[in-house]
Structure 1
Amino acid sequence: MRERLTLVVTTLNNAATLERCLASAAWADAIVLLDSGSSDATLQIAQRYGATLFSEPFKGYAAQKQSAIDKAASRWVLLLDADEALDGANARAAIELALQAPAVAGFRLPRREQVFWTFNHRGVRLNTHLRLFDRERVRMNDVPVHAAPATREPVATLGEAVFVHYGEPDIHTKVAKINAYSSGLVAHKQRKRVRWMGARLVLYPGVFFLRQYIGKRWFLDGWAGFINAVSAAYYVFLKYAKVYEEQKRRLG
């Protein structure tokens, strides 16, 4: 018999993608949804799937997700964003099997990305994310914008439990995220006292482009992969450029 599992989702006006998210893991033993003031059909969709609903003002990405995790009805949780969904029966089967007798604190799941008008080619090397875990041994980290579950205990990777991110349907959305996320990371980078700023600005974007386009095989995504790699390189440039700008501003 496997461990009981709670699907945990945080929302704000996610009616466009939430149904796909909940449907992909409707087999979970419970669904907890923490909303921060939706005015669209988000809550009605959640009710159709029998979710236990909570409402709290948005406290920041890490705090909001941790609050939702703490409300889970079981120790083991599957944490998905409202614009993510498990990729079919293979993902469910892998998760069900992993929860039979888990010997680790959690499992990292591969994430396939929407890349504008297409999705990652099957040959792309997917990033993995810790999304299936024992909530008593895993906590959200404090990285702004990119807050994620973290633990010092052993975790494993479930290669078959792929989930899909539907968050970047066009270039406009991608660029808007790049601008917002790079600004959101300035204070965090300042606290870490980033060194070698000149080298980071000049060299790192090109290195990052090659790492993604060649190393992660984004070239298999065609022109969408090329545009995505250039955008990603611009993102790493922009976040350090904004840190540099803030440093100069503080110095007067």
Structure 2
Amino acid sequence: MAREPLSVVVTTYNSAATLDACLASVRWADEIVVLDSGSTDATVAIATHYGARVSTQPFAGYSAQKQAAIDLASHDWVLLLDSDEALPDGAADTLGQVLDAPEHAGYQVWRREWIFWQWQSPRSRLNHYVRLFDRRRARMSAHQVHEEVQAEGSIGVLDLVLDHYGERDIAGRVDKANRYSSLQLADLTERRSTGLRLRMLTNSIAAFFRYYVLRGHYRSGWAGFIAARIHAFYAFLKYAKLYEATRVIRRGERLPGQRDS
């Protein structure tokens, strides 16, 4: 029985700094699909260099943009990557063995994080995500941020660790925390908005403890400590913004500079 052909799918926007490493790590794939959001740097040129089939559409949100890219794939089996991720050497053999006879609807892969100036400690806990899947049985979730592949069927785990370069400095991670906390308001408002004052007080403490202690990032020295503090700030910020939004809605208050519509 022939191996299932594989489409690698990547969404991009001004991703030139990391896209070369990303696409070089999957140049063996049967197809590379890149959906760009209007980059003004060398992103499209890099994608073209690696033989990718490049399409462009305005950014529709993280989940919707990734689903649109998946829908562009020619093959049923898809490997979804962020433009700042790269597979290790030997990944082609690992994925090829799985695609010879897939046993699950999707497969999780492990991911190690670049934290500012170093890789996370090898003794800290790795995250894992569904990245390889049969697109006939999977779709992106509807979350505004922290979107994920939701597969209908069993999920396997690959012995594969991809590298995530992410935000390369503290300012970039703080900017992301601010941006994501604003985007997540839509998801949070669908849940109960009671107890927000208590959540502002306690969630950031719990988030710091989970990230720094339970996930073992204390082993990454000061880089791990700084990342944990920013992660805790993000946990605080999303509920602080939700509290602000409820005051505006429930009490008819206006934000500074806001006018009547």
TM normalised by structure 2 equals 0.92
1:195: how far off? Answer: 3.6
1:207 aligns to what? 206
Counterpart CA distance in 1 for 2:96 and 2:124 is 25
1:230 aligns with 2:229: yes
Q: Deviations over 1:109-166 (max 9, x none)?
A: 11111100111111111110111111111101110022221124211111x2111111
RMSD value over aligned CA atoms?
Answer: 1.3
2:141 aligns to what? 141
Secondary structure in structure 2 of the residue aligned to 1:145: coil
1:150 aligns to what? 150
1:68: how far off? Answer: 0.7
1:219: how far off? Answer: 1.0
Counterpart CA distance in 2 for 1:211 and 1:188 is 22
Secondary structure in structure 1 of the residue aligned to 2:82: coil
Secondary structure in structure 2 of the residue aligned to 1:246: helix
Counterpart CA distance in 2 for 1:39 and 1:163 is 27
1:183 aligns to what? 182
* Bigger CA radius of gyration: 2
Counterpart CA distance in 2 for 1:165 and 1:182 is 21
Secondary structure in structure 2 of the residue aligned to 1:80: strand
2:9 aligns to what? 8
5 Å-filtered alignment, 1:1-252, equals 1-89=2-90, 91-158=91-158, 160-252=159-251
Alignment-mate amino acid for residue 233 of structure 1: A
Secondary structure in structure 2 of the residue aligned to 1:122: coil
1:58: how far off? Answer: 1.4
Counterpart CA distance in 1 for 2:39 and 2:80 is 19
For the 8 Å contact 1:19–1:45, the answer to whether it is kept is: yes
For the 8 Å contact 1:92–1:161, the answer to whether it is kept is: no
1:87: how far off? Answer: 2.4
**How many residues align structurally?**
250
Alignment-mate amino acid for residue 108 of structure 1: Q
For the 8 Å contact 1:5–1:78, the answer to whether it is kept is: yes
- Residue identity over aligned pairs, in percent, reads 47
Counterpart CA distance in 2 for 1:93 and 1:220 is 32
* Residue segments in structure 1 that go unaligned for 5+ positions in a row: none
1:205: how far off? Answer: 1.4
TM normalised by structure 1 equals 0.95
Q: Which runs of 4+ in 1 moved over 3 A?
A: none
Alignment-mate amino acid for residue 72 of structure 2: K
Counterpart CA distance in 1 for 2:89 and 2:124 is 19
Alignment-mate amino acid for residue 116 of structure 2: F
* Gap change, CA 1:199 and 1:151, over 3 Å in 2: farther
Alignment-mate amino acid for residue 120 of structure 2: N
